[in-house]
Amino acid sequence: MTEYLPEPLGKKTGVRGGKRKGPSRAEMSIRLQLAPFSLTRKETEITLLLLEGLKREEILENCEITNNTLKTHIRQIYRKLNVTARADIPGKIGLA
């Protein structure tokens, strides 16, 4: 899967290694494209991680949530974006 963020997001702070103080321009652009879909903060965070290409286990570790909670968030993301798979998300928000 193509990665849509030039730098990986880090655990909780939004960066790995603590070098940046805020989200990158690419991340902010994607967040703006997601805004019309009324995602919660956690849903937005998970969507960004999905776009980054992280595996389910990596998302679970990064977000410190249970597998069932992740399933619920992904189901809600798919419903709000009106998609049926992770690969459909970029096209839905204009990245493909």
Cβ neighbours of residue 92 under 8 Å, at least 6 residues apart?
81, 82, 83
Residue 1 located in a structural domain? no
Residue 47 located in a structural domain? yes
On the CB side of 63, CA atoms within 13 Å amount to: 26
Using alpha carbons only, give the angle 8, 52, 67 rounded to the nearest 5 degrees. Answer: 105
> Which residue from 21, 24, 19, 26 is spatially nearest to 4, judged by alpha carbons?
26
Q: pLDDT: is 24 or 70 the higher one?
A: 70
Is the pLDDT at 5 greater than 70? The verdict is no
Residue 21 located in a structural domain? no
Q: What is the dihedral of CA 90, 81, 70, 9, to 10 degrees?
A: 40
What domain range is 69 assigned to?
42-92
Q: pLDDT for 37-94, tens place per residue?
A: 999 999 999 999 999 999 999 999 999 999 999 999 999 999 999 999 999 999 999 9
For the whole model, what pTM was predicted?
Answer: 0.77
Give 23's pLDDT tier (boundaries 50, 70, 90).
confident
